[in-house]
């Protein structure tokens, strides 16, 4: 049985029942198996008699039994999965748990099993009554079938995928922090994340200047860009600013200048792949991973950010316009270089770059006319 927040309230299996109690905002406050309860209050957990039994901290947990506090530390991978748990033992360390997972979170190997239930993504495994679901706060997840058991509370913003999917079906690359959409990311004017807000609204990337004024930035490829945004943490640099001077430097290095029809098409044919017109992502200020992730770029005074792959497409569109290509030819050569596999987002970035060069060129001519 589910409550009005679509969270499991009572689960019955083989004659046994498991009941959950929540706050008005959907935060789990208590779990009851039979007559035994366990209470949750932020990073603290209490037993049936409301005695403190567990304290969470960034590196693991502290177990309390009577007047004894036992420290246990977790070693996690890049997805936040607990892989090793150990306890200090004098000058040595005692291994208390070792875990290996299948991609979607089902446990493949477990050694020295202890009482720790905070495993995949650091989420609590609900093993009571043989359930084996993970609590992701907004909904519950079953790793064996790689699906949540209820719809994403904010599914209307993710119409491109099933509302029960976990991590956009890419569990090696992404995580679902709460079982729903990512939070808003606040960055400063150096491109560093300074705050992450939980507001249950469509995800945004917001730039805050030194005066405290906020400016919302748009995504060129919202589904993939928002998913990539999930992988970053507070304090990490995720945005590089590409000024007009930077762009001019790229064009000069790539020997881009207006050419006649035959010369510009020959240059586009021969230099788009591993040549002067192949705008390597290192030019954008990041060291991207093989799948083109690693951050975003913002060109000039625009309010749209591009992932590194689309940032390269933007520069190609700019260069094509500067060579003298119309928009149609600019898109054609880019698509041909990808064996006609460009996505609409790739083509949009090319169009944006082409239009940006055109706008700059018009402003330059107007300024020259006014001087004359």
Per-residue pLDDT tens digits for 123-149: 999 999 999 999 988 889 999 999 998
Domains of the chain, by residue range, sit at 10-157, 239-371
Q: Tokens for 128?
A: 């009571």
Helix axes 308-323, 261-271, angle to 10 degrees: 160
Per-residue pLDDT tens digits for 298-308: 998 788 999 88
The whole-number average pLDDT for the span 345-365 is 85
H/E segment holding residue 40: strand 36-41
β-bridge mates for residue 19, sequence order: 10, 32
- Count, in order, helices (H) and strands (E) of the chain: 6, 22
Range name among 131-145, 227-241, 269-283 with the lowest pLDDT average: 269-283
Q: Tokens for 68?
A: 């004894």
Neighbours of 21 (CB within 10 A): 14
More reliable by pLDDT, 16 or 201: 16
pLDDT at 288: 47
> Are 116 and 96 within 8 A, CB to CB?
yes
pLDDT at 301: 78
Quick one: which of 297, 332, 339, 302 has its CA closest to 317?
332
Which pLDDT band, with edges at 50, 70 and 90, does 107 fall under? very high
Contacts of 219 (CB under 8 A, 6+ apart): 205, 225, 226, 304, 305
Which pLDDT band, with edges at 50, 70 and 90, does 60 fall under? very high
Main-chain dihedrals φ then ψ at residue 249, nearest 5 degrees? -65, -40
Residue 204 and residue 227: Cα distance in Å, rounded?
12
pLDDT at 370: 64
Range name among 78-82, 176-180, 223-227 with the lowest pLDDT average: 176-180
Neighbours of 272 (CB within 10 A): 20
pLDDT at 9: 92
pLDDT at 226: 79
Full DSSP string of 60-110: EEEEEETTEEEEEEEEE-TT--EEEEEEEETTEEEEEEEEEE-TTS-EEEE
Answer yes or no: pTM beyond 0.75: no
Burial class (CB within 10 angstroms; exposed 0-12, middle 13-18, buried 19+) of 237: middle
> Are 305 and 205 within 8 A, CB to CB?
yes
Mean pLDDT of the chain: 82
Termini Cα distance of the chain = 78
Per-residue pLDDT tens digits for 156-212: 666 666 788 888 787 876 777 655 555 688 889 888 998 887 655 556 788 888 877
Phi-psi region of 172 (alpha: psi -120 to 50; beta: other; left: phi over 0): alpha
β strands within 174-291, DSSP E:
184-188, 193-197, 205-208, 214-219, 239-242
Range name among 16-20, 144-148, 334-338 with the lowest pLDDT average: 334-338
Contacts of 23 (CB under 8 A, 6+ apart): 29
% of the chain residues with pLDDT over 90: 31
């Amino acid at each position: 049985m589910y409550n009005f927040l679509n969270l499991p309230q009572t689960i019955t299996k083989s004659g046994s029942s498991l009941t959950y109690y929540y706050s008005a905002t959907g935060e789990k406050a208590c779990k009851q198996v039979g007559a035994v309860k366990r209470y949750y209050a932020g990073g603290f957990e209490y037993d049936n008699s409301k005695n403190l039994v567990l304290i969470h901290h960034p590196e693991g947990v502290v177990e309390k039994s009577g007047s004894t506090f036992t420290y246990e530390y977790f070693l996690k991978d890049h997805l936040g999965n607990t892989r090793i748990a150990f306890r200090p033992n004098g000058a040595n360390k005692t291994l208390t748990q070792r875990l290996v997972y299948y991609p979607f979170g089902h446990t493949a190997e477990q050694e020295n099993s202890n009482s720790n239930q905070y495993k995949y993504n650091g989420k609590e495994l609900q093993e009571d009554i043989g359930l084996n679901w993970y609590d992701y706060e907004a909904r519950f997840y079953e790793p064996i079938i790689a699906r949540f058991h209820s719809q994403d509370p904010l599914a209307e913003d993710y119409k491109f995928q099933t509302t029960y999917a976990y991590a956009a079906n890419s569990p090696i690359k992404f995580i679902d922090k709460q079982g729903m959409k990512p939070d808003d990311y606040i960055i400063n004017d150096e491109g560093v994340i300074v705050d992450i807000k939980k507001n249950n609204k469509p995800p945004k990337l917001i730039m805050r200047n030194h005066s405290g004024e906020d400016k919302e930035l748009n995504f060129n490829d919202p589904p993939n860009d928002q998913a990539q945004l999930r992988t970053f943490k507070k304090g990490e640099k995720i945005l590089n600013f590409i000024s007009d001077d930077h762009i001019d430097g790229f064009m000069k290095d790539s020997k881009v200048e207006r050419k006649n029809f035959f010369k510009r098409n020959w240059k586009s044919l021969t230099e788009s792949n591993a040549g002067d017109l192949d705008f390597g992502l290192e030019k954008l200020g990041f060291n991207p991973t093989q799948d083109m992730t690693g951050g975003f770029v913002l060109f000039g005074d625009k309010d749209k950010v591009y992932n590194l792959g689309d940032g390269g497409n933007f520069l190609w569109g700019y260069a094509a316009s500067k060579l003298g290509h119309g928009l149609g030819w600019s898109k054609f050569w880019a698509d041909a270089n990808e064996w006609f596999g460009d996505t609409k987002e790739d083509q949009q970035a090319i169009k944006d770059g082409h239009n940006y060069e055109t706008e700059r060129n018009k402003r330059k001519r107007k300024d020259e006319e006014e001087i004359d």
